[in-house]
Amino acid sequence: MSALEPTTPSVPNRAGWAWRPYALTLPALLLLVAVIGYPLLTIVLRSLSEPQWGLQNYSWFFGAPVNLTVLQRTFTISAWVTLVCVICAYPYAYLMTAVGPRVRLVLVLCVLIPFWVSGVVRTLSWVILLQDSGVINSLLRAVGFDGIRLIRTQTGVVIGMAQVLLPFMILPLYSVMKGIDLRLVRAARSLGARPSRAFFTVYLPLSLPGVYAGAIIVFILALGFYITPALLGGPRSTMLSTLVQTQVLSLLQWGRGGAMGVILLVTTFLLLALAAPVMRSRHREAGRR
């Protein structure tokens, strides 16, 4: 080979270390298996084996109309909480992107402060506010209106749960909204679109990923709420988590409690699987506009 002949640089063999980045996830996977996978497997086995092997616990659940009513109520309350969080969080997150750094810092602190307060304390605060002689009814009577019943009702449960879960909707929305180029909205207005039309045709479709992410997080968290419905709700606002607690801790029926948990988990996955294609198709349609 002559001295003037070019040499090809050696390409490192990446086959030997291509798997190494995936090895970084091994500790997290082991932790998830230890704290989630093993207990979940235990619950599934208990639902099938106690008091004896079979599907009697699932037959009992679907054979009792009260269980189906509570399951439906659980998803209904969770859907209402998600809707309330979307309505309240969207303008707040939009305001966080429109103000200056100092005001934005104050708004972020207002979102994070609830994480520093116990959920029991926040729920007890709502008990004081929503009771028949509480602050809200006192203000209504002071301005000439009749008091309304909020405590021990489904409305009170939705209000309390929405306040607890609101940060989980605001943060995903803000993370998406802060990446939206506002020049696109100004360009739409320069082409003759009214501010409302520019918002609904440009800004809103671009912010939908944040809405979807926050809605999924809030909905899933709302399905498993126990403290807030127990303190603010009544017999007609009982959620499935309360029935699970009764079966496991009061009646010591681990099989029936496990069956309730498995049914709630499977139903949640089915609804998310059905909703995912719809969300993706709407997101693609919004992206084409």
167-218 pLDDT tens trace: 999 999 999 888 888 888 888 888 887 888 888 888 888 888 888 889 988 9
> Encoding tokens for residue 173?
């929305």
CA distance 44 to 49: 9
CA distance 235 to 241: 13
CA 174, chain centre distance (Å): 15
Whether residue 201 is contained in a domain is answered as yes
Whether residue 238 is contained in a domain is answered as yes
Whether residue 93 is contained in a domain is answered as yes
Whether residue 234 is contained in a domain is answered as yes
Work out the percent of the chain whose per-residue pLDDT is above 90.
Answer: 16
Structurally, how many domains does the chain consist of? 1
CA atoms within 13 A on the CB side of 104: 13
Report the CATH number that the domain containing residue 172 is assigned in CATH: 1.10.3720.10
Whether residue 30 is contained in a domain is answered as no
Residue 126, Cβ neighbours under 10 Å: how many? 23
CA distance 260 to 67: 9
Instruction: Estimate the crossing angle of helix 254-288 against helix 38-49, to 10 degrees.
Output: 130
Whether residue 1 is contained in a domain is answered as no
> Encoding tokens for residue 162?
């929405």
Average pLDDT over residues 68-77: 91
Length of the chain: 289
Whether residue 107 is contained in a domain is answered as yes
What are 132-175's pLDDT values in tens digits? 887 888 888 888 777 788 888 888 899 999 999 999 999 999 99
Report which of 183, 193, 197, 199 is spatially closest to residue 90, judged by C-alpha positions. Answer: 199
Residues of the domain holding 159: 64-288
CA 185, chain centre distance (Å): 29
Whether residue 88 is contained in a domain is answered as yes
